[in-house]
């Protein structure tokens, strides 16, 4: 089982889009995929269709989510908490997030054991999944630390704009700190698969001029590898996440991956290429 964290400490760079659609691409390659949402904003939880309420009074995930996995040593196993999601076919499993993560962060911070709890619980299901994808908060907080301690590999989505680029200094330092901790507990350092260009403009002049320059700057200035795949900012990627189902008079979110929504679109082709590249980089057979 390979564990991949998708992280950048700047928000709005395409983390959720990357996680859910990469999961779909890997699933369609025959891989058994588990998504773990460690961001209290729960965007990935929404994007995989796990939220089935339009009023928080009927919250269907508040009593069984990633918070409970981290809080409890003996209960809330991966098997118990993971929910089968139909946002793509073949289906993937998802451990949902919840806004309660924010409220309990300080409490969990006092428990050193919670930093390794996800590793321990994933070991018990290592024969059930081929790939685990972890979505992370855009911060340097406890949940980001847990994700990077747990993962074997890291993808850093970026729109390559100046603020995102400046944030790469923090990302490198953060990874360095995490790798120091990983050495202490005798696990291999986190391997950075690369910066993944995301939400990139489709303007021809931008692609032929500005984008080329930005793709060269990252390895030179920040000494970080680049992914070969580029995920462009396409309308279809937004529309597939906004699909709804009408039940009576209520609209219930019913998102689809881009590979299920428009499998022949350019966006779907780009995400399929990303899946192939990721499998090659982590040494997983296709």
Residue 250 confidence (pLDDT) = 66
Which helix (H) or strand (E) segment holds residue 79: the answer is helix 78-81
Residue 251 confidence (pLDDT) = 66
Which helix (H) or strand (E) segment holds residue 195: the answer is strand 191-197
Residue 158 confidence (pLDDT) = 95
Residue 246 confidence (pLDDT) = 66
User: In the CATH hierarchy, which fold is given to the domain comprising 2-281?
Assistant: Rossmann fold (3.40.50)
Residue 199 confidence (pLDDT) = 94
What confidence tens digit (pLDDT) does each residue in 211-234 have? 988 898 889 999 999 999 999 999
What confidence tens digit (pLDDT) does each residue in 15-48 have? 999 999 999 999 999 999 999 999 999 999 999 9
Domain coordinates in residue numbering, the chain: 2-281
Q: What is the DSSP letter of 220?
A: I
Give the pTM.
0.95
What's the number of CA atoms in the CB half-sphere (13 Å) around residue 63? Answer: 4
Q: The tokens of 270 are what? A: 């780009």
Q: What is the pLDDT along the chain (286 residues), one digit of tens a residue?
A: 999 999 999 988 999 999 999 999 999 999 999 999 999 999 999 999 887 666 666 677 889 999 999 999 999 999 999 999 999 999 999 999 999 999 999 999 998 889 999 999 999 999 999 999 999 999 999 999 999 999 999 999 999 998 888 899 999 999 999 999 999 999 999 999 999 999 999 999 999 989 988 898 889 999 999 999 999 999 999 899 887 766 666 666 779 999 999 999 999 999 999 999 999 999 987 7
| Cβ-based neighbours of 80, under 8 Å, separated by 6 or more | 64
Task: Report yes or no: 122 and 150 within 8 Å, Cβ to Cβ.
Answer: yes
Task: Report yes or no: 47 and 258 within 8 Å, Cβ to Cβ.
Answer: no
**Cβ neighbour number for residue 65 with a 10 Å cutoff:** 24
Q: The tokens of 86 are what? A: 């139909």
Residue 95 confidence (pLDDT) = 98
């Amino acid at each position: 089982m390979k564990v991949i964290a998708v992280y950048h400490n700047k928000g709005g760079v395409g983390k959720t889009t990357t996680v859910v659609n990469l999961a779909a691409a890997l699933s369609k390659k025959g891989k058994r995929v588990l998504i773990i949402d460690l961001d209290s904003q729960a965007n990935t939880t929404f994007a995989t269709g796990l939220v089935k309420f339009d009023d928080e009074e009927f919250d269907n995930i508040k009593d069984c989510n990633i918070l409970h996995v981290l809080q409890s040593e003996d209960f809330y196993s991966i098997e118990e908490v993971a929910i089968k999601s139909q946002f793509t076919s073949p289906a993937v499993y998802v451990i949902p997030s919840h806004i309660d993560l924010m409220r309990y962060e300080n409490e969990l911070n006092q428990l050193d054991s919670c930093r390794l709890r996800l590793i321990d619980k994933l070991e018990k299901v290592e024969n059930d999944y081929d790939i685990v994808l972890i979505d992370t908060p855009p911060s340097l907080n406890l949940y980001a630390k847990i994700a990077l301690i747990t993962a074997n590999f890291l993808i850093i989505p970026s729109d390559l704009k100046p603020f995102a680029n400046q944030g790469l200094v923090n990302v490198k330092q953060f990874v360095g700190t995490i790798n120091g901790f990983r050495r202490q507990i005798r696990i291999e350092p986190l391997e950075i698969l690369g910066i993944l260009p995301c939400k990139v403009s489709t303007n021809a002049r931008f692609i032929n001029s500005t984008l080329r320059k930005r793709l060269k700057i990252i390895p030179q200035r920040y000494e970080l590898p680049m992914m070969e795949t580029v995920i462009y900012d396409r309308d279809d990627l937004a529309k597939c996440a906004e699909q709804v189902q009408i039940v009576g008079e209520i609209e219930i979110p019913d998102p689809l991956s881009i590979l299920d929504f428009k499998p022949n679109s350019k966006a779907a082709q780009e995400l399929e290429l990303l899946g192939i590249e990721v499998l090659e980089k982590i040494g997983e057979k296709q």
